[in-house]
Amino acid sequence: MRLRLSVFLFFFAGIFLVGCGPRETRVTAGNRDGILHLGNGAEPQDLDPQLISASTDQNLAVALFEGLTTLEEKTSQPIPGVAERWEVSPDGLTWTFHLRATARWSDGSPLTADDFVQSWRRILAPALGAENAYLLYPIKSAAALNDGSLKDYAALGVAAPDSRTLVVTLERPTPYFPTLTALTALFPINPRVLATFSALNQRGTAWTLPPNLVGNGPFLLREWTPNARLIVEKNPHYWNAAHVALRQIVFYPIENPGVEERDFRAGQIHATYELPLSKVETYRRESPSQLRIEPYLETFFLRFNVAKPPLDRRDVRAALARALDRESITRNLLSGTRVPAHHFTPPDCAGYTARATIPDDFAEARRLLAAAGFPGGRGFPKIELQIRNDELHAKVAEAIQAMWKRELGVDIALVQLEQKTWLQNQQSKNYTITTSRWVGDFVDPVTYLEVHQTGGGYNFNGWSDTRYDELLRSAALAPDAASRYEFFQQAEAILLDAAPSVPLFFGARIYLQQPSVQQWSPALLGLHRYGEVKLAR
């Protein structure tokens, strides 16, 4: 009896100990099963790579699709993707890309050079209204097709002499063209799938939903539960599938960085998209190995809708642009994680740094506002500043609100919006002032300066200046880098003087990451090649 009782007690104790042991978290289970759990900042607007604009959506697109080239994280330079090699003609006008024989769509069908031809014709169709179509403008006839002045798509400088050869003819030499082919706007889209869902010239069709989406990236779309999660799993038809270590990636659209941080501490995600500013010092002190602060090619700025009085007046915009203490914002609110921005392009962007600047000058700001007819803010209407509903936007906007009230006597109301609405309002110009963030498409000043070009897909300000446009055109035709950059210097000086947008600070990627995540390199453009990522058990 005593032996039986002892055995029973031992057995019961074992059950008790197992039952009270630590629960397996998503992270520990994911490490074992090859499933990466990531915070992704926001619910996707779209998964159509030709229509996406948010960096959070691009994070998804690079898992599902791949261009002729892809960007190496550390250098931001193009390396082979769908194209195994390429060459350029001596005059710099003709690029020939050779596709891999093993390139396949995720349904197993061959990916051909003509698929790129059809995809690039599609993004240029005026009916589609793709904001990113301008990225193809170096290609012969692309701009004319996109603005509708040319109707014959056979005139586009893209040809497929055979299934594995793509020949691209440019309007002008563009040495960085292979970099452009790594961008989401130039990803291939399966034209047969588009035709099935009548999506050739339409937005918002069902082709981007599971199980309809057919991509060519290292992963395929398995599940999309709105406002909950999006799951991609390893694509067995990817040309380099044998190298892909992850079995799945689960993206969580968590807009609140505070919730992300709690999920990270609870072992529910491997990495956050952002980190609350209030937590930076804590992690610096207590868990520095989990904290990531990395360079990021981004400018955080205010957009002015120049069609709405009184922001249609240059002196008003210039006054608001100068009535800011950027150093105080970055030092006191952002824990020194960002650098104040007195010009629009990030410093040392491929060797370019703007000479012109917008100074912090409260006295000049008051003078300009008085000259515009609002001395001491008298008679100035109360206007709204729209912001994304997160801690960073809120803290910065509250500081701006206080500075403008104290220094200029100007009152503004803050309106917090979900990312989707915040972006849509900018696209439709349904705002007076809004916070905005621009992450470079590639490492070159042109990707910043084209934002304000007349008719540009991202000129949500409505600002236009013929001299500015002419300088950008001259830069595109410049025979060398020195003269090209000089045209950019003159253009940026015009932009800063007119102040349709107000640069505030330059970016940084600040997030948390579990030590089990490997082969994850810092990326200046913020995008990672998920096919390279591994998890340690």
pTM above 0.85, yes or no: yes
CA–CA gap between residue 62 and residue 242 (Å, rounded) = 18
In 3D, which of 290, 233, 261 has the Cα closest to residue 39? 261
Class of the CATH-defined domain 66-197? alpha beta
CA–CA gap between residue 221 and residue 363 (Å, rounded) = 55
The pLDDT, as a whole number, for residue 238 is 98
Q: How confident is the model at residue 208 (pLDDT cuts 50, 70, 90)?
A: very high
DSSP secondary structure, 485-521, as one string: HHHHHHHHHHHHHH-SEEEEEEEEEEEEB-TTEES--
| Structural contact between residues 535 and 518, judged by C-beta atoms closer than 8 angstroms | yes
Identify the burial level of 127 via C-beta atoms within 10 angstroms of its C-beta, where 0-12 means exposed, 13-18 middle and 19 or more buried: exposed
Q: Encode pLDDT of 16-42 as tens digits.
A: 444 445 689 999 999 999 999 999 999
Residues paired with 513 in a beta bridge: 271
- Same fold for the domain at 26-45+207-292+510-535 and the one at 297-509? no
Between 84 and 9, where is the model more confident? 84
Residue 383 reports pLDDT greater than 60: yes
Percent of the chain at pLDDT > 70 equals 96
Between 238 and 21, where is the model more confident? 238
The pLDDT, as a whole number, for residue 70 is 98
Q: Encode pLDDT of 260-319 as tens digits.
A: 999 999 999 999 999 999 999 999 999 999 999 999 999 999 999 999 999 999 999 999
State yes or no: cis peptide before 310, omega within 30 of 0: yes
Q: So where are the chain's domains?
A: 26-45+207-292+510-535, 66-197, 297-509
The pLDDT, as a whole number, for residue 22 is 63
Q: Encode pLDDT of 462-506 as tens digits.
A: 999 999 999 999 999 998 999 999 999 999 999 999 999 999 999
CA–CA gap between residue 354 and residue 374 (Å, rounded) = 31
| SS3 at position 372 | coil
Between 518 and 479, where is the model more confident? 518
Average per-residue pLDDT in the chain? 94
Q: How confident is the model at residue 53 (pLDDT cuts 50, 70, 90)?
A: confident
Q: Sign (positive/negative) of CA torsion 521, 254, 60, 51?
A: negative
Beta strands (DSSP E) in 361-497 are 383-388, 412-417, 433-439
Cβ-based neighbours of 46, under 8 Å, separated by 6 or more = 52, 57, 203, 204, 208
400 to 157, 220, 372, 437, 528: CA distances (angstroms): 47, 43, 20, 16, 33
Neighbours of 175 (CB within 10 A): 10
Residue 370 reports pLDDT greater than 60: yes
CA–CA gap between residue 180 and residue 122 (Å, rounded) = 17
CA–CA gap between residue 372 and residue 502 (Å, rounded) = 18
Q: Provide the terminal-to-terminal Cα distance of the chain, rounded to the nearest Å.
A: 45
Q: Encode pLDDT of 150-197 as tens digits.
A: 999 999 999 999 999 999 999 999 999 999 999 999 999 999 999 999
> Phi and psi dihedrals of 462, rounded to 5?
80, 10
The pLDDT, as a whole number, for residue 74 is 87
In 3D, which of 228, 328, 299 has the Cα closest to residue 507? 299
Residue with structure tokens 């056979």?
154
Calculate Rg over the CA atoms of the chain: 25
The pLDDT, as a whole number, for residue 537 is 87
> Phi and psi dihedrals of 298, rounded to 5?
-140, 145
Average pLDDT over every residue of 386-403: 95
Residue 10 reports pLDDT greater than 50: no
CA–CA gap between residue 188 and residue 165 (Å, rounded) = 14
Cβ-based neighbours of 65, under 8 Å, separated by 6 or more = 49, 184, 187, 188, 189, 215, 216, 217
| Structural contact between residues 206 and 212, judged by C-beta atoms closer than 8 angstroms | yes
Percent of the chain at pLDDT > 90 equals 92
Average pLDDT over every residue of 438-448: 94
CA–CA gap between residue 464 and residue 455 (Å, rounded) = 8
Residue type, 43: E
According to CATH, the topology of domain 297-509 is Dipeptide-binding Protein; domain 3 (3.10.105)
Q: H-type helices in 24-171, by residue range?
A: 26-33, 55-64, 113-124, 142-146
Measured at the CA of 444, the angle between CA 178 and CA 147, to 5 degrees, comes to 70
Residue 1 reports pLDDT greater than 50: no
Residue 47 in tokens: 């998964």
Residue type, 85: R
Pick the CATH number of 26-45+207-292+510-535 from 3.40.50.20, 3.20.20.60, 3.30.1330.10, 3.40.190.10: 3.40.190.10
